[in-house]
Amino acid sequence: MGLLKFWPKTHSPKEVMFLNELEEILDVIEPAEFVKVQEPLFRQLAKCVSSPHFQVAERALYYWNNEYIMSLISDNAAKILPIMFPALYKNSKSHWNKTIHGLIYNALKLFMEMNQKLFDDCTQHYKAEKQKEKYKLKERDEVWMKIEDLARQNPQVGASHGDLYRCSCTAEIKQIPPPCMTTSCFYTQQET
């Protein structure tokens, strides 16, 4: 869908107008054509649902009130729900606007009624991904703690102000090694 290249990502009022026009196009699109554009289209709609600008999120969620679009979504739920689910689920708990919460719950309810098993699978997959993210963050924190411990054990970390360092590029001697502009430069501690 060539129109997606022209999506007004940084101007919310234009994005709302774009969503209005796109809905009119989707009202007359053939199911075979819809299949060709569904993935990039719903990736963009997921971004719109996650928009902090409530009118953009609201306008994107109004697509779930359009019967023809809902019939297209229903026929292609196996492709569309995995794309939309993370944005819908996350924003059902975190979006600042209460109207958006209601529209998201409506969209999630419609997806659940369409295909309960697929909905449950997407829920499990989403929760598993969140667990992986938590685990990765925990691992990263542990690695940084190890690095900090190693840095504390490094004798140069606790160097006194009287310590002198020699630059390998300029042979200058300084009290505290400043960052050098060359990549091959390093500082060595000098005996006093």
Supply angle C-alpha 3, 23, 99, rounded to 5: 120
Domain spans of the chain, in order of start:
2-133, 161-192
Confidence band of 2 (pLDDT split at 50, 70, 90): confident
Share of the chain above pLDDT 70, in %: 80
The mean predicted confidence, pLDDT, of the chain is: 88
pLDDT at 154: 78
pLDDT at 106: 96
Strand order in the sheet with 164-167: 173-174, 164-167, 187-190
Q: How far is CA 20 from CA 16, 106, 149, in A?
A: 6, 20, 56
| pLDDT tens-digit series, residues 14-55 | 999 999 999 999 999 999 999 999 999 999 999 999 999 999
Examine the pLDDT at 62 and tell me if it is beyond 90: yes
Higher pLDDT, 169 or 83: 83
Cβ neighbors of 159 (< 8 A, separation 6 or more) are 189
Stretch 108-116: mean pLDDT: 96
Examine the pLDDT at 12 and tell me if it is beyond 90: yes
Residue type, 23: E
Stretch 46-70: mean pLDDT: 97
Supply angle C-alpha 53, 59, 60, rounded to 5: 95
**96 close to 52: Cβ distance less than 8 angstroms:** yes
Question: If DSSP codes are grouped into helix, strand and coil, which group holds residue 167?
Answer: strand
Say how many residues make up the chain. Answer: 192
Supply angle C-alpha 116, 121, 123, rounded to 5: 95
| pLDDT tens-digit series, residues 77-86 | 999 999 999 9
pLDDT at 167: 64
pLDDT at 155: 67
Count the neighbouring beta carbons within 10 Å of the beta carbon of residue 179. Answer: 6
